[in-house]
Chains A and B, each alone.
Chain A
Amino acid sequence: DIQMTQSPSTLSASVGDRVTITCRASQRISNYLAWYQQKPGKAPKLLIYKASNLESGVPPRFSGSQSGTEFSLTISSLQPDDFATYYCQEYNSFWTFGQGTKVEIK
């Protein structure tokens, strides 16, 4: 089974900061990687699919990239609405999620 390892587990940042979250797949998954944002008590929201494609309606400050089996989600300038938990997900074999990264206010 493919394992998805996210880092860090928690990230403390300030409004305006550039933040990057990393997700590493235990096997090759091509570019079948998605990123989600989840706020407390709410359903997840799809941000990025196929590693770097922005879902409709998602602000362009969010971006995704890939280097082999390592994937990154970058928020170019953190906004108050961005404090949340972020999950990566592979959908190359099954639909496995990473363990999540909580972005909190510094």
Chain B
Amino acid sequence: EVHLVESGGGLVQPGGSLRLSCAASGFTFSSYWVTWVRQAPGKGLEWVANIKQDGSEKHYVDSVRGRFTISRDNAKNSLYLQMNSLRAEDTAVYYCASLRGFGGYDPFDYWGQGTLVTVSS
């Protein structure tokens, strides 16, 4: 059974940094693109970043480009999101998910339970 478990969320001050992790199991992690999606309290879903199987290709939503960095460690079956220069508008539940296919342009089929990031002074 596929499991994705996020960790690392918490309260951080504006301008601060946080690193999220996502531990994957139950599938061949290294064979799939993976992604981060966030959801601000009471709001809709927003795609944040994707990373290719070998880490050689990454995509970001404009609002986080230059502040957030997505990475992965296939040996540890883990996905990461380094978040710097955090702003109040980054407050959200952050989900990791896997893409359904192998090509990158696919929907998200397996999701974690999410981890809450709160940016506030």
Chain A positions within 8 Å of B, measured between CB atoms, are: 1, 32, 34, 36, 38, 42-46, 49, 55, 87, 89, 91-92, 94-100
Contacts and interface: CB of A to CB of B under 8 A. Distances in A.
Residue from the set A36, A95, A97 with the largest chain B CB neighbour count within 10 Å: A95
A100 to B, nearest CB: 4
Q: Which 5 A-B pairs have the closest CB atoms?
A: A34-B107, A43-B111, A95-B47, A97-B45, A100-B44
Interface string B104-117: 01111101111000
Nearest to B47: A95
Interface of B: 35, 37, 44-47, 50, 59, 61-62, 95, 97, 100, 105-109, 111-114
B58 to A, nearest CB: 12
B109 A95 contact: no
A49 B47 contact: no
